[in-house]
Chain A
């Protein structure tokens, strides 16, 4: 029997394993019919203790396209959590019914607690402002398919870099590749946490901070936009003051490279104007599609299905 694996943080996967997942996702895109029954009679439990659209739908679609079944809940109110059940008890229960679990929880570290009590693979589908490794896998697949390679890329990360878990995970993943450059674009109040800055410095990555999107745009190969998330603020005044800090519109793209790609983990509020959608550089909906394929590859990997 193969070793039980979980995905809590993107660094739980080696670079070689990530490359393998990207290769499998590429193969699924090229030959979807070859995977239609790969997870027949297997069940995925989606335990979503806080609302999500894309992540839950893409996990559901991924398992369905692999021929498996899906069960679960999409908010804490519809689970026994509302009756005071602990995360560990919920997971032990889920293990009785499912072969693999995708879990989202507003508290940081909840999937880690789940993994400690689980007999089936646990996938962290987002834990508060902490980690979101399957979004990172989605981002890596998107960049890889659009750019062919990671080497030499200059990536601009824009918006909420403080609470933006997608940004933190993407940085952690990409610093393990060679010759990556980052430009951090955020208001001072929402800049990167110190531990991520430490990681960047420790890895010897070339990075800098700027306070204007216009300044960074011409040099970027990838622009990764993020939403200033209301749910991460304790104080509404701070949210209102910062929510419109960085907005990308089509006119601004005139100074960007022709082959730059604009990414966003979605949902967007108003940080990318609608007029950007028709620009060939807009990649965020394609990115959402890639989320399904990489999750298919991940489910196969964690279930040990070749």
Chain B
């Protein structure tokens, strides 16, 4: 694969195979006006198989959400058909409106209109704590 098909936009490369749709939904790309292509199970020298998302058009990608999802994803910014820059993802310090606190004693369980916010507590273990009650976020099994 190459970056053909995107004049000015973003190519998300090295997405774990099969996760392309999840990323598409997470970034709410269905709400974007521009052309979006998901290419699944492409051969990859690095990972064996990978997914790629091509977004043709100027879009602000939420790098925090993407970084939380998988820091191995490569973000290629394309301008006039040329690779303008590669963005290396990292775990964000804060996550707002992405995760939901499941502690029934947390104020977010009753107070309407406040965003669920998490802070990075342990980068190595990818551990996030609720900003309000300090409860560690656990992925649903």
Report whether B136 and A113 are in contact in the complex, using a CB–CB cutoff of 8 Å: no
Q: Which of A87, A106, A108, A113 has the most CB of B within 10 A?
A: A108
Size of the A side of the interface (Cβ < 8 Å), in residues, is: 17
Query: Looking at the complex, which one of A88, A108, A194 makes contact with B132 (CB distance below 8 Å)?
Result: A108
User: How many residues belonging to B are interface residues under a CB distance threshold of 8 Å?
Assistant: 20
B132 and A113 within 8 A (CB): yes
- Residues on the B chain within 8 Å of A107, using CB: 105-107, 109-111
Given A108-B132, A130-B134, A195-B129: A113 and B103 within 8 A (CB)? no
- How far, in whole Å, are A108 and B104 apart by their CA atoms in the complex? 9
Residues of A within 8 A of B113 (CB): 86, 88
Tell me if B103 and A108 are in contact (CB < 8 A): yes
CB distance from A76 to the nearest CB of B (A): 11
Pairwise interchain contact B111-A110, C-beta atoms closer than 8 A: yes
Q: In the complex, are the beta carbons of A109 and B106 less than 8 A apart?
A: yes
Q: Is the interface of B mostly helix, strand, loop or mixed?
A: loop
Considering the complex, which residues of chain B in the window 91-141 have a beta carbon less than 8 Å from any beta carbon of chain A?
103, 105-114, 121, 129-136
Q: Which chain A residue lies CB-closest to B130?
A: A109
Given contacts A109-B133, A195-B129, A195-B136, contact A129 B111 (CB under 8 A): no
Contact of A227 with B by CB under 8 A: no
Q: How far is the CA of A108 from the CA of B134 in the complex (A)?
A: 9
Q: Check: A292 CB closer than 8 A to any chain B CB.
A: no
Contact B111–A87 (Cβ < 8 Å): yes
The verdict on A112 contacting chain B, using a C-beta distance below 8 Å, is yes
Q: How far is the CB of A168 from chain B (nearest CB, A)?
A: 9
Partner of B105, one of A86, A88, A108, A113: A108
Q: Which A36-67 residues have a C-beta within 8 angstroms of B? A: none
Contact status A87-B136, CB under 8 Å = no
Min CB–CB distance A223 → chain B (angstroms): 27
Residues in A whose Cβ lies below 8 Å from that of B135: 108
Give chain A residues whose Cβ lies under 8 Å from the Cβ of B105: 106-108, 128-130
Residue from B106, B111, B130, B131 in contact with A88 in the complex, judged by beta carbons closer than 8 Å: B111
CB atoms of A112 and B106 under 8 A apart: no
> Would you give 6 A-B contacts (Cβ < 8 Å), ordered by A?
A108-B106, A108-B134, A128-B133, A129-B105, A130-B105, A195-B129
Interface residues of B (CB under 8 A from A): 103, 105-114, 121, 129-136
* Chain A interface residues toward B at CB < 8 A: 86-88, 105-110, 112-113, 127-130, 194-195
